[in-house]
């Protein structure tokens, strides 16, 4: 009864496919809808935060920093309340990471400030002696790509129904509106920074990568 | 027999992919060694501005060895083994020859674009699926072309039954295709909003769902790139090199179906204690343990193939490569399930024990099989004997030392850091700040980087040996039947 | 479809699939060894596909016996 399997490449291929596909269907599909639900009070990222998140991703911060606090006392003591599924509802992609070469960042906004990040990103070892984190001086010189950040926000709003512009949710609006709002948000961060170059750039209407990144990190709570 | 119209196997495409396996192996592993040293000596991060940081380079290392070195090795061995066990030559079909060459050149273009885009920071951040959508499409095209090659060659075969290696190659093709397509579902933002970077995209899944799909992919990419096709290799190269038939062909068939069914369930063990549903985690944990059976089925089958022939270990360095590879396969397929036990995972997750585990599999099992496989193929493709047996021996011992240094230091580093993260003083407060748990790793990270360097030097020795074999070694008149001739 | 129903389908699907697969696997083992014992099929000979893989070596089992004989005569 099994001989056909060994001789007929077509049936064999179909057989293998069924066997390997089954696990994915059973494990991933059933809870798909439930896992996609946001927690009450969880809000999508502002356009400036998305720009910061893109900087975070482009530089592979997630290769060394996790964003997932596991339900152990040793972790909640160190990083804060353990993570809940609904908190990630607007995370595309998820950034849990797989290796903690540096500490977890899921709630870093609760215990680090703008000026701490400013000093730390410029020279980590000066703030945390012994740190092996690279220096990120170039983020103080490069401008963000706000168009791509806005494009991402607009896309998730259109395609995945992310509730921008809904009552109690962040405003997105048109590109010009969003840009104005992002400039205003960035101003609050820049006001807490010391670097003169950043301030000058801001006055000229430019938002540096570091500003957006800090906006994103401060929002992780 | 040697009439003018006699058919011979045509290794043109196999040779192409042999070269790319060697080149991309050197690239991927050099980057690996560099980032290993960056952990021990962080100043190395600042050599090339934003393009030289650990975060930018790490995907180039992982993707470089997985999709560069390993996939090239898979293609090279397929275009060699496939013809032989189906007893049909690529020369018999102009179409398949064209498809094979097209596949190679598209692959090379794809690799080049992928490396540059990762260096520039264009990444989706999902591990081993970092490429943005244009590269994804190129990869899918290359993969489809490979599928045409596989099934085209099967279509014109002379041998009725498909040898077990062919089973595994087919499974590789199917598995990677399914996983890659579903994990890389993404929406290009430019086409929806009409602005920004045209190659930027956003994942189709969010949060916990994205994590589930990603690790269903991430775990099984390991299955279908680092396990399944490598088993295909060992089922051909070990029997052929040693002249011994597979210990039990029936066992090989059973292990195949077992592996196919069980492997895919285990992806959730990367997400233990995360926010994915509990039942997914528990099931993944259980299936990971069950996975020992089919894995060891293949590995033991290989070791028993050498029954009564262990003397070959002394004479033939290639047999050494294969036997050590299956031993490392047994080690890592035991280690993996142990790490998938929930209470062990609580300690091991997020530590260096995990990359340690990955590397005893990839360096010991994957790397050794591809290196050993190409050593076996080279004299038959280039019609010359291996340039230097001594060099093969030296490479074997250097690389084995490197692997042992690598995984022992990573085991210690991982368990040390895991223990320190959870250690408390007598009042129940955390005993160590995070930076304490980093500084303590410095000696182990140094050892690991040195171990990795040993392995890399071995790869250079391999490259030199193959280069000399292809160009200037002593010619052989008749193809050797079993053991590979070496000078 | 409400959640309850989905859960039910999922549960039954999972259990029955495990059941079917397990029976299938054992049947396959039985089939392999029985065919070997009764001489219906010698599985172990397929190992030779790797060992005798020169293009001129005799086939373990020809896909198309007649065409192949002609092939061999020509060569």
Contacts of C7 in chain A (CB under 8 A): 30
Rounded to 5°, angle at Cα A36 from A35 and A42: 110
Domain positions in chain A are 3-30, 47-218
**Whether CATH 1.10.760.10 fits A47-218:** yes
Contact B274, A70 (CB under 8 A): yes
Q: Any residues with CB less than 8 A from the CB of C17 and at least 6 apart, and which?
A: A22, A26
Q: What percent of chain A has pLDDT over 90?
A: 81
Report pLDDT digits (tens) over A191-214.
Answer: 999 999 999 999 999 999 999 999
pLDDT of C2 over the 80 cut: no
Q: Is A163 exposed, middle or buried (0-12, 13-18, 19+ CB in 10 A)?
A: middle
Q: Inter-chain contact C31–A2, Cβ cutoff 8 Å?
A: yes
| Beta-ladder partners of B386 | B486
**Number of Cβ within a 10 Å radius of residue B14:** 24
**Touching partners of A (3+ C-beta pairs < 8 Å):** B, C
Smallest CA–CA separation between B286 and chain C, in Å? 14
* Residue C74 confidence (pLDDT): 47
Alpha-carbon distances, residue B419 vs A101, B228, B432, B448, B450 (angstroms) = 15, 34, 10, 20, 25
Mutate to test the interface with C, among B3, B250, B260, B261 (most CBs of C within 10 A): B250
Mutate to test the interface with B, among C51, C66, C70, C75 (most CBs of B within 10 A): C51
How far apart are the C-alpha atoms of B80 and B166, rounded to whole Å?
12
Report pLDDT digits (tens) over B397-409.
Answer: 999 999 999 999 9
- What is the crossing angle of helices B368-382 and B12-40, to 10°? 150
Q: Inter-chain contact B163–C64, Cβ cutoff 8 Å?
A: no
Residue A38 structure tokens: 């946001």
**DSSP per residue, B419-443:** HHHH-B-TTS-BSS-HHHHHHTTHH
How far apart are the C-alpha atoms of A69 and A133, rounded to whole Å?
21
* Residue B279 confidence (pLDDT): 85
Q: Any residues with CB less than 8 A from the CB of C70 and at least 6 apart, and which?
A: none
* Residue C68 confidence (pLDDT): 53
Smallest CA–CA separation between B3 and chain C, in Å? 7
In the three-class reduction of DSSP (H, G, I as helix; E, B as strand; rest coil), residue A107 is classed as coil
* Residue B121 confidence (pLDDT): 93
Contacts of A26 in chain C (CB under 8 A): 10, 13-14, 17
Alpha-carbon distances, residue B364 vs B193, B271, B360, B468 (angstroms) = 47, 26, 5, 25
How far apart are the C-alpha atoms of B153 and B87, rounded to whole Å?
10
Residue B114 structure tokens: 């992928």
How far apart are the C-alpha atoms of A115 and B153, rounded to whole Å?
63
CB pairs under 8 A between A and C: 17
Q: Inter-chain contact C50–B246, Cβ cutoff 8 Å?
A: yes
Q: Which of B84-98, B164-178, B224-238, C10-24 has the lowest mean pLDDT?
A: C10-24
Smallest CA–CA separation between B422 and chain A, in Å? 5
Report pLDDT digits (tens) over A145-191.
Answer: 999 999 999 999 999 999 999 999 999 999 999 999 999 999 999 99
Q: Inter-chain contact A12–B167, Cβ cutoff 8 Å?
A: yes
pLDDT of C69 over the 60 cut: no
Contact A130, A94 (CB under 8 A): no
Residue A93: asked if its preceding bond is cis (omega within 30°), the reply is yes
Q: What is the mean pLDDT of residues B426-451?
A: 95
The continuous run of DSSP H or E covering B202 comes out as strand B201-203
The whole-chain average pLDDT of chain B stands at 94
In the three-class reduction of DSSP (H, G, I as helix; E, B as strand; rest coil), residue B201 is classed as strand
pLDDT, greater one: B280 or B470: B470
Contacts of A13 in chain B (CB under 8 A): 170, 174
Q: What is the CA radius of gyration of chain C?
A: 22
Nearest to B339 by CA among B269, B263, B414: B269
Contacts of A130 in chain B (CB under 8 A): 435, 438-439
Residue B26 structure tokens: 């050197």
Q: Inter-chain contact C21–A19, Cβ cutoff 8 Å?
A: yes
In the three-class reduction of DSSP (H, G, I as helix; E, B as strand; rest coil), residue A118 is classed as helix
Q: Inter-chain contact C10–A3, Cβ cutoff 8 Å?
A: no
How far apart are the C-alpha atoms of B355 and B407, rounded to whole Å?
9
Q: What is the mean pLDDT of residues B199-213?
A: 92
Q: Is C30 within 8 Å of chain A by CB?
A: no
Buried b (16+ CB within 10 A) or exposed e, B290-305: bbbebbbbbbbbbbeb
Report pLDDT digits (tens) over B339-352.
Answer: 999 999 999 999 99
Nearest CA in chain C to B244: C51
In the three-class reduction of DSSP (H, G, I as helix; E, B as strand; rest coil), residue A205 is classed as coil
Using an 8 Å CB-CB cutoff, list residues of chain C that contact chain B: 21, 25, 28-29, 32-33, 36, 43-44, 46-51, 53-57, 59-64, 68, 71, 74-75
Smallest CA–CA separation between C63 and chain B, in Å? 4
Alpha-carbon distances, residue B61 vs A75, B26, B73, B109, B463 (angstroms) = 30, 10, 16, 18, 19
Report pLDDT digits (tens) over B149-195.
Answer: 999 999 999 988 899 999 999 999 999 999 999 999 999 999 999 99
How far apart are the C-alpha atoms of C5 and B478, rounded to whole Å?
67
Contacts of C27 in chain A (CB under 8 A): 1-2
Q: Inter-chain contact C10–A26, Cβ cutoff 8 Å?
A: yes
Smallest CA–CA separation between A26 and chain C, in Å? 7
Alpha-carbon distances, residue B161 vs B166, B168, B436 (angstroms) = 10, 14, 60
Contacts of B59 in chain A (CB under 8 A): 60, 63
The continuous run of DSSP H or E covering B187 comes out as strand B186-188
| Beta-ladder partners of B430 | B424
Q: What is the mean pLDDT of residues C26-53?
A: 88
Smallest CA–CA separation between C74 and chain B, in Å? 9
C-alpha torsion B358→B359→B363→B366, nearest 10:
0
Distance from chain centroid for Cα B278: 30
Q: Inter-chain contact A27–B280, Cβ cutoff 8 Å?
A: yes
Distance from chain centroid for Cα B180: 16
* Residue B458 confidence (pLDDT): 97
* Residue C19 confidence (pLDDT): 87
Q: In chain C, what is the greatest distance between 2 CA atoms, to the nearest angstrom?
A: 68
pLDDT of B288 over the 50 cut: yes
How far apart are the C-alpha atoms of B148 and B424, rounded to whole Å?
59
**Touching partners of C (3+ C-beta pairs < 8 Å):** A, B
Alpha-carbon distances, residue B82 vs A64, A201, B236 (angstroms) = 41, 61, 10
| Beta-ladder partners of A143 | A208
pLDDT of C66 over the 70 cut: no
How far apart are the C-alpha atoms of B215 and B224, rounded to whole Å?
13
Does the complex come out with an ipTM higher than 0.85?
Answer: yes
Phi and psi torsions of B83, nearest 5°: -60, -45
End-to-end CA distance of chain A: 60
Of B46, B264, B438, the CB nearest to A20: B264
Contacts of B124 in chain A (CB under 8 A): 57, 93
Q: Inter-chain contact A74–B212, Cβ cutoff 8 Å?
A: no
How far apart are the C-alpha atoms of A209 and A51, rounded to whole Å?
8
Nearest CA in chain B to C54: B84
CATH topology of domain B319-487: Cytochrome C Oxidase; Chain A (1.20.210)
Q: Inter-chain contact B193–A154, Cβ cutoff 8 Å?
A: yes
Of B9, B89, B163, the CB nearest to C49: B163
In the three-class reduction of DSSP (H, G, I as helix; E, B as strand; rest coil), residue A31 is classed as coil
pLDDT of A69 over the 50 cut: yes
Nearest CA in chain C to B305: C47
Residue B268 structure tokens: 């959730």
**DSSP per residue, A32-75:** HHHHTPPPTT--PPPHHHHHHHHHHHHTTGGGT------SSHHH
Smallest CA–CA separation between A163 and chain B, in Å? 14
Phi and psi torsions of B209, nearest 5°: -65, -45
Contacts of B236 in chain C (CB under 8 A): 50
pLDDT class of C72 with cuts at 50, 70, 90: low
Of C6, C27, C41, the CB nearest to A30: C6
pLDDT of B304 over the 70 cut: yes
Nearest CA in chain A to C46: A6
Contacts of A128 in chain B (CB under 8 A): 435
**Number of Cβ within a 10 Å radius of residue A158:** 14
pLDDT of B448 over the 50 cut: yes
Nearest to B355 by CA among B410, B296, B436, B316: B410
Residue A98 structure tokens: 């797989």
Report pLDDT digits (tens) over B60-104.
Answer: 999 999 999 999 999 999 999 999 999 999 999 999 999 999 999
CB pairs under 8 A between A and B: 253
Of B8, B87, B89, the CB nearest to C59: B87
| Beta-ladder partners of A99 | B350
How far apart are the C-alpha atoms of B216 and A29, rounded to whole Å?
12
Q: Inter-chain contact A3–C41, Cβ cutoff 8 Å?
A: yes
Phi and psi torsions of B178, nearest 5°: -60, -50
Smallest CA–CA separation between A92 and chain B, in Å? 5
How far apart are the C-alpha atoms of B239 and B409, rounded to whole Å?
34
Of A22, A30, A34, the CB nearest to C17: A22
Smallest CA–CA separation between C68 and chain A, in Å? 17
**Number of Cβ within a 10 Å radius of residue B429:** 8
């Amino acid at each position: 009864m099994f001989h056909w399997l060994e001789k007929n490449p077509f049936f064999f291929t179909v057989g293998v496919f069924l066997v390997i596909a089954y696990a994915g269907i059973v494990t991933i599909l059933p809870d798909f809808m439930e896992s996609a639900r946001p927690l009450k009070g969880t809000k999508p990222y502002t356009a400036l935060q998305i720009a910061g998140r893109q900087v975070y991703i482009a530089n592979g911060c997630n290769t060394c920093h996790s964003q997932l606090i596991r339900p152990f006392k040793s972790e909640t003591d160190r990083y804060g309340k353990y993570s809940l599924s609904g908190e990630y509802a607007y995370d595309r992609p998820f950034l849990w990471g797989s290796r903690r070469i540096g500490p977890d960042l899921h709630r870093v906004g609760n215990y680090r400030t703008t000026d701490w990040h400013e000093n730390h990103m410029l020279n980590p070892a000066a703030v945390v002696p012994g740190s092996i984190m690279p220096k990120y001086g170039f983020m103080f010189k490069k401008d963000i790509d706000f168009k791509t950040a806005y494009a991402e926000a607009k896309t998730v709003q259109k395609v995945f129904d992310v509730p921008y512009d809904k009552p109690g949710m962040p405003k997105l609006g048109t590109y010009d509106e969003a840009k104005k709002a992002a400039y205003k948000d960035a101003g609050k961060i820049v006001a807490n920074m010391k670097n003169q170059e950043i301030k000058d750039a801001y006055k000229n209407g430019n938002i540096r990568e570091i500003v957006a990144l800090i906006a994103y990190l401060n929002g992780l709570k | 027999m040697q009439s003018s119209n006699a058919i011979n196997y045509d290794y043109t495409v196999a040779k192409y992919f042999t070269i790319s396996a060697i080149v991309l192996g050197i690239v991927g592993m050099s980057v690996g060694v560099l980032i290993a040293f960056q952990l021990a000596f962080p100043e190395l991060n600042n050599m090339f501005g934003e393009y030289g940081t650990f975060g930018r380079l790490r995907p180039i290392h992982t993707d470089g060895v997985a999709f560069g070195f390993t996939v090239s090795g898979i293609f090279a061995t397929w275009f060699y083994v496939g013809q032989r066990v189906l007893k049909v030559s690529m020369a018999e079909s102009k179409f398949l020859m064209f498809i094979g060459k097209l596949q190679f050149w598209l692959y090379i273009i794809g690799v080049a674009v992928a490396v540059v885009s990762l260096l520039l920071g264009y990444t989706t951040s999902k591990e081993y699926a970092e490429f943005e959508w244009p590269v994804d499409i190129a990869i899918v095209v290359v993969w489809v072309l490979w599928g045409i090659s596989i099934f085209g060659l099967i279509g014109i075969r002379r041998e009725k039954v498909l040898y077990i290696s062919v089973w595994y190659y087919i499974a590789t093709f199917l598995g990677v295709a399914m996983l890659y397509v579903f994990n890389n579902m993404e929406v290009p933002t430019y086409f929806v909003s009409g602005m920004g970077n045209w190659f930027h995209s956003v994942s189709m899944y969010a949060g916990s769902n994205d994590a589930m799909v990603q690790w269903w992919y991430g775990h099984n990419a390991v299955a279908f790139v680092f396990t399944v096709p490598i088993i295909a290799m060992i089922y051909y190269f070990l029997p052929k090199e040693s002249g011994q038939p597979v210990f039990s062909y029936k066992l090989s068939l059973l292990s195949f179906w077992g592996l196919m069914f069980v492997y895919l369930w285990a992806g959730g063990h990367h997400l233990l204690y995360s926010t994915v549903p509990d039942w997914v985690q528990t099931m993944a944990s259980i299936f990971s343990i069950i996975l020992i059976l089919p894995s060891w089925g293949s590995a033991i089958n290989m070791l028993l193939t050498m029954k009564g022939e262990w003397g070959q270990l002394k004479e033939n360095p290639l047999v050494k490569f294969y036997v050590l590879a299956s031993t490392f396969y047994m080690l890592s397929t035991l280690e993996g399930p142990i790490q998938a036990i929930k209470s062990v995972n609580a300690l091991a997750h997020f530590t260096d024990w995990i990359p340690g585990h990955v590397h005893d599999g990839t360096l010991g099992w994957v790397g050794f099989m591809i290196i050993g496989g190409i050593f076996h193929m080279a004299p038959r493709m280039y019609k010359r004997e291996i340039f230097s047996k001594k060099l093969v021996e030296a490479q074997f011992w250097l690389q084995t030392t490197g692997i042992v240094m690598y995984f022992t230091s990573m085991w210690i580093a991982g368990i040390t850091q895991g223990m320190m993260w959870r250690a408390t003083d007598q009042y129940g407060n955390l005993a160590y700040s995070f930076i304490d748990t980093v500084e303590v790793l410095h000696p182990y990270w140094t050892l690991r980087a040195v171990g990795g360097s040993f392995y890399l030097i071995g790869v250079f020795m391999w490259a030199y040996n193959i280069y000399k074999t292809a160009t200037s070694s002593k010619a052989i008149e008749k193809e050797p039947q079993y053991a590979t001739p070496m000078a | 479809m409400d959640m309850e129903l989905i859960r039910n389908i999922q549960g039954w699907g999972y259990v029955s699939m495990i059941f079917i697969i397990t029976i299938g696997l054992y049947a396959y083992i039985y089939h392999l060894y029985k065919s070997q014992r009764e001489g219906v099929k010698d599985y172990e000979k397929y190992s030779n596909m790797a060992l005798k893989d020169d293009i001129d070596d005799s086939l373990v089992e020809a896909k198309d016996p007649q065409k192949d004989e002609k092939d061999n005569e020509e060569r």
